[in-house]
Amino acid sequence: MRVAILISGRGSNMEALIKGVKSGFIPAEIGLVLSNRAEAEGLAKAKKSGLKTLFLDPKEYKGKEEYDRAIVETLRGEGIDLVCLAGFMRIISPYFVDAYHNRIINIHPSLLPAFPGLDAQQQAIDYGVKYSGVTVHIVDKGVDSGPIIAQRVVEVKEGDTAETLAKRILAEEHKIYPLVLKALAEGRVKVKGRTVMVKE
């Protein structure tokens, strides 16, 4: 399985996936790391790991779909089978979703469907929940609304800030994302409508 990782920032989840692939834990190949931001720290990290990287500037395209068409053309040219969003701070177009139907996954710092969108950790604290966590899901045409592959629970502690909660959630993100990619690469994930089955 050839995988592309799409990032916008530091790429810490990307690093967890790279580590899993390089160690042999995940039987896949990372064919490309793509960013919508030239200054994304993750691009330099990916280059240092010997991976092919690409910056595609959204400003050079007329709109979201035209930009996404360029991404899809690039992914197809690289023979990419699966797309992992890892802090890619753009809502992708229906065209992209259709082009890679059920082959785009995302990681989100809450127990979806609770607290989708931005600032999920602050949303959890403001709501007063006792538990939040992390979700890996298939991307559909909504915002953080696709079928759920896996989740991990993180306790919200008294006195938590968005930053302290985010730090503990991130530690779980770095564990669960490689596990999900491994399961996908091994063909252990089956999707039927909104139902996702993962074989042990």
The pLDDT tens digits for 91-136 are 999 999 999 999 999 999 999 999 999 999 999 999 999 999 999 9
Q: How far apart are CA 41 and CA 81, in angstroms?
A: 25
Domains of the chain and CATH, by start: 2-191 (3.40.50.170)
Model confidence, pTM: 0.96
Cβ contacts of residue 63 below 8 Å, gap of 6+?
A: none
Q: What percent of the chain is predicted at pLDDT more than 90? A: 98
Residue 200: is its pLDDT beyond 90?
A: no
Whether a cis peptide bond, with omega within 30° of 0, leads into 113 is yes
Alpha-carbon separation of residue 184 from 40, 130, 170, 191 (angstroms):
27, 31, 21, 11
Maximum C-alpha span of the chain: 50
CA distance 145 to 117: 10
User: DSSP letter at 58?
Assistant: G
Residue 82, judged by CB atoms within 10 A of its CB (0-12, 13-18, 19+), counts as buried
Q: What average pLDDT does the segment 152-158 reach?
A: 97
Residues 6+ apart with CB under 8 A from 16: 173, 174, 175, 177, 178
Active site residues: 108
